[in-house]
Amino acid sequence: MMSRPCAVAGMFYPKDPARLGHLLGGFFNGTGPAKNATKGIVCPHAGYVYSGQIAAQAFSTISPDFSGTFVVIGPSHNGYLTCASAISWDTPLGPVETDEEFVTELDIPVDEMAQITEHSIEVQLPFIRYRFPKAKIAPVMMGEQDPAHAMAVAGKIVAAHRMTKRDIRIVASSDFSHYVPEAVARDGDLYAIQAVENLDVPEFYRRIREKRLTVCGYGPISAMITACLHMGAEKGELIRYGTSGDASGDRDAVVGYAAIAVM
């Protein structure tokens, strides 16, 4: 397998390059200025009709001139163990090249087949290809999301960063509450997001347990925060929060989405 083919093009986002480019352009036209201090972001991975504008808000905090490596950490929705990818990933806009040296230094097992149907990383890549055409990626799919495992993944990212001297930004791919009334989702999600803004990983886990939140990428978020702290991050900032109800009109069973920058 020379490249990882698109699995959810035509479902989560348009398969036609012209239509996809037009959609992404519209998303980014509605965003604010970049924040030069951004080291990592939390970004949703739902269908673009629901979360695309919020995802663009997250990526817009990074300068479009960025040409380094995005470490994209997504949760496994299919039960696979944590693994990396070392091949390029296709998008309708063209391939996104993988930083093979960085992936090697990560010292995380490579498993290309485990990632064939997973959408949590793939959905981020058209944004990267469109906004940062010179950037590369280091894809990491997290299976185990407990605190110890998140700390281990963060440590591997920090070690690879030190070894390669790459200019990196870390993308934690995650949606928040799933299929609960909007008031419940908003209350619980914003409670957890406060801990993210404070870069307090233990408190983030505690609040998820307390509210029994169904955040699907809590491990990637925690790994991103921890790695960014090692790189000098001082705070997080919620850029935008919304739910699937904003697009569907259904407020009875929503999924929550957040764009968060860690600086």
pLDDT in tens, 3-53: 999 999 999 999 999 999 999 999 999 788 887 799 999 999 999 999 999
pLDDT of residue 30: 78
pTM score: 0.97
* Whole-number percent of the chain with pLDDT over 90: 97
* Pair 69, 105: CB distance under 8 Å: no
Domain ranges of the chain: 3-262
Average pLDDT (54-77) is 97
Collapsing DSSP states into helix, strand and coil, what is residue 184? helix
Region 3-262: CATH code:
3.40.830.10
> Angle CA(56)–CA(140)–CA(203) in degrees, nearest 5?
75
* Pair 196, 98: CB distance under 8 Å: no
* Cα dist from 178 to 53, 118, 212, 222, whole Å: 19, 18, 11, 19
